[in-house]
């Protein structure tokens, strides 16, 4: 049976991610979100919006990735996929 996370907890993670965009390094924000997803055994799809906002604010085309500028969104999608695949192996 899938775990359900309460709305206030989802909003808290969303606000942390949104505030973390401005005040924390990107890797700390993504690591904390990944840990929360593993501990709570949920996939938080709504975090794609702040990742896209992060790309719009800070994203710059990178030559080695063929001028791809949405790296935060791509990292968030990878984190969501990994959390979805790993959550059944993590004990609650």
Residue 53 placed within a domain: yes
Give residue 77's pLDDT: 92
Tell me the residue range of the domain where 16 lies.
7-86
The predicted model gives 47-69 an average pLDDT of 83
In angstroms, the Cα distances linking 1 to 4, 21, 38, 45, 83 are 9, 33, 16, 19, 16
Q: Is the pLDDT of residue 91 over 80?
A: no
Give residue 78's pLDDT: 92
pLDDT tens digits along 14-39: 888 888 888 988 889 888 888 888 88
Q: How far apart are CA 30 and CA 17, in angstroms?
A: 8
Residue 47 placed within a domain: yes
- Biggest CA-to-CA distance, the chain: 44
Q: Domain tally for the chain?
A: 1
Say what the pTM is. 0.76
């Amino acid at each position: 049976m899938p775990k359900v996370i309460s709305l206030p907890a989802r909003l808290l993670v969303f606000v942390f991610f949104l505030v973390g965009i401005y005040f924390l390094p990107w890797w700390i924000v993504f690591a904390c979100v990944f840990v929360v997803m593993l501990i709570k055994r949920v996939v938080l799809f709504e975090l794609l919006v702040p990742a896209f906002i992060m790309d719009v604010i800070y994203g710059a085309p990178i030559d080695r990735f063929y001028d791809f500028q949405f790296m935060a969104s791509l990292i968030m999608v990878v984190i969501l996929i990994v959390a979805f695949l790993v959550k059944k192996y993590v004990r609650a």
